[in-house]
Chains A and B, each alone.
Chain A
Amino acid sequence: MSETGRKMGWKELPIGGYLLEPGSSMKYKTGDWRAFRPIIDQKKCVNCLLCWIYCPDGAIIRLEKNVDVNYDYCKGCGICANECPVKCISMVEEKW
């Protein structure tokens, strides 16, 4: 994942590694750092939103009645699975 498309060379890059566009980290997808993938068992989920609160990457998506994972940014740290009071999140090894 990471960034898609051609990477800039040293002549094109802004000086000093400056990022001149605010919010551009959205373009930098960190999902491929993941070694373990959180899988939510939607039948067990009580929508308490603790995973949404604890996720350090904001990678839990709030839906109408449940939550889901944004796999573009989830680094697979497992904090959501650890905090889940009903243990409905399992961490499954990624096969990249």
Chain B
Amino acid sequence: MVIFMAKVMGLTGNEAIAYAVKQCNVDVVAAYPITPQTVMVEVISEYIYNGEMDAEFICVESEHSAMSACIGASLAGARVFTGTASQGLALMHEMLYIASGLRCPIVMGVANRALSAPLNIHGDHSDMMGSRDCGWIQIYAENVQEAYDWTIQAFKIAEDPRVLLPVSVNIDGFILSHCVENVFVLEDDVVARFLPPRKPLITIDPTNPITVGAMCLPDYYFEVKFQQFQTLNESLKVIREVTKEYESLSGRKYDVLEAYAMEDAEAAILCIGSTAGTAKEVAKGLRREGKKVGVVKLWVYRPFPQEDLIKALGDVKALAVLDRAFSFGAPFNALCSDVISTLYKYRKDIRVFNCVYGLGGRDITPMEIRGIFEETLEIADTGRLKEYVRFIGVRE
């Protein structure tokens, strides 16, 4: 294994994604500013203005138009990036389905933020969870380093001829988007070798006309959508391949999920995004006290890594699933519903409870996570579940 010496840069999550996009030699960026993502595309526009990046920046009047422009450019064969958050992602909703349905390998950075009303600009996962069925590959980063690394890998995954689906790289609004961390960045030529220019199979080209987006009636629609459904499920294999290749040049190991201290764990927390960092730190402390706890962090939320999850959970007896978004009226919230469905499918008897936390950017503290671990340990011990869904820190 050859590890290329890398330099270290102090970057926020937004800047790290922008820097990765520059190195990925993106052709077209169409975006509309929205907190907490704004800086991401602002930095890209600066790169283009300074001549550091040879790309077309399309200023649009809304996120709906941003995604529409991205779809057109992607169909024409360009490597395309956009960024958004919250209300912007919600406004894009219709076009998200068209991007995946037309098999456009667009990469989008999402600085996850709460949805109105009431108006709130801070971080939670309501935005992407609201679009979780849109057919995109959905990746959640734990820290700024991961945001950088996943953005580069995202293009490789999206453009693979076995995939050809859009990918969203999610970072927690403000917690990651605006926090400066030391980031190991690759040299431009290393990224260029990993990610050569896009080679589209089919493009819209006036000299060789095709029809894209034609109406598809009851006799064909189901087959076309099934094809997309299968492709998304099978993309897990490609994602894993890409992470292996990326590891060989960066020395950083990625997968569809990360299992921390899970080998002999009896109680565990499962979560996505930056909270995994806090959970791992708390678990480390509890391990020192001899408590058998672990953490499972999903990097890839869609397609849901079912087999990997079952393997990671091992012989765990109790599990707390942390959701940073509400699924109003549902028996469990989004992430927990997926976990429980998977456990049912694999006939795995684990006591699971769901914790909703951090809505509208409210902090989740190490003490609160410790409390969740302690409760999970108690359930593992007694086998008795007190509540199926808990709401961390909400006042009566």
Distance (whole angstroms) from the CB of B266 to the closest CB of chain A: 44
Q: Which 3 A-B pairs have the closest CB atoms?
A: A19-B211, A16-B103, A10-B223
Query: Chain B contacts of A21 at CB under 8 A?
Result: 210
Distance (whole angstroms) from the CB of B162 to the closest CB of chain A: 11
Distance (whole angstroms) from the CB of B206 to the closest CB of chain A: 11
Interface residues of B in 205-228 (CB under 8 A from A): 209-214, 216, 219-221, 223-224, 226-228
Asked if B392 CB lies within 8 Å of chain A CBs, one says no
Q: Which of A8, A22, A25 contacts B223 (CB 8 A)?
A: A8
* Closest partner residue, chain A, to B221 (CB atom): A17
Q: Does the CB pair B219–A15 fall under 8 Å?
A: no
Q: Does the CB pair A10–B226 fall under 8 Å?
A: yes
Q: Does the CB pair A15–B209 fall under 8 Å?
A: no
Query: Chain B contacts of A15 at CB under 8 A?
Result: 103, 164, 202, 227
A18 to B101, CA, bound (A): 10
- Most chain-B CB neighbours within 10 Å: which of A10, A13, A20? A10
- 26 A-B pairs, CB-CB below 8 angstroms? A2-B219, A7-B219, A7-B220, A10-B223, A13-B220, A13-B223, A13-B224, A13-B227, A15-B202, A16-B102, A16-B212, A16-B224, A17-B102, A17-B214, A17-B220, A17-B221, A18-B210, A18-B211, A19-B210, A19-B211, A20-B202, A20-B210, A21-B210, A22-B211, A24-B211, A25-B214
Instruction: Classify the secondary structure of A's interface with B.
Output: loop
Query: Chain A contacts of B164 at CB under 8 A?
Result: 15
Given contacts A10-B224, A10-B230, contact A16 B101 (CB under 8 A): yes
* Closest partner residue, chain A, to B102 (CB atom): A16
A18 to B210, CA, bound (A): 7
0/1 interface trace, chain B 161-186, chain A, CB 8 Å (1 if under): 00010000000000000000000000
Tally A-B pairs: CB < 8 A: 52
Query: Chain A contacts of B209 at CB under 8 A?
Result: 22
Distance (whole angstroms) from the CB of A16 to the closest CB of chain B: 4
Chain B residues within CB distance 8 Å of chain A = 101-103, 164, 202, 209-214, 216, 219-221, 223-224, 226-228, 230
Query: Chain B contacts of A17 at CB under 8 A?
Result: 101-102, 213-214, 216, 220-221, 224
Distance (whole angstroms) from the CB of B211 to the closest CB of chain A: 4
Asked if A3 CB lies within 8 Å of chain B CBs, one says yes
Chain A residues within CB distance 8 Å of chain B = 2-3, 7-11, 13-22, 24-25
A16 to B220, CA, bound (A): 11
* Closest partner residue, chain A, to B209 (CB atom): A22
- Most chain-B CB neighbours within 10 Å: which of A7, A13, A15, A24? A15
A13 to B9, CA, bound (A): 46
Given contacts A8-B223, A13-B223, A13-B224, contact A18 B230 (CB under 8 A): no
Q: Does the CB pair B224–A19 fall under 8 Å?
A: no
A14 to B221, CA, bound (A): 12
* Closest partner residue, chain B, to A21 (CB atom): B210
A7 to B210, CA, bound (A): 20
* 11 further A-B pairs in the complex, CB-CB below 8 A; given A3-B219, A15-B103: A10-B227, A13-B223, A15-B164, A15-B227, A17-B213, A17-B216, A17-B221, A19-B210, A19-B214, A20-B202, A21-B210
A7 to B212, CA, bound (A): 19
Distance (whole angstroms) from the CB of B166 to the closest CB of chain A: 12
* Closest partner residue, chain A, to B204 (CB atom): A18
Q: Does the CB pair B224–A22 fall under 8 Å?
A: no
Q: Which of A2, A8, A11, A18 contacts B212 (CB 8 A)?
A: A18
Query: Chain B contacts of A19 at CB under 8 A?
Result: 210-212, 214
A22 to B101, CA, bound (A): 20
A3 to B220, CA, bound (A): 11
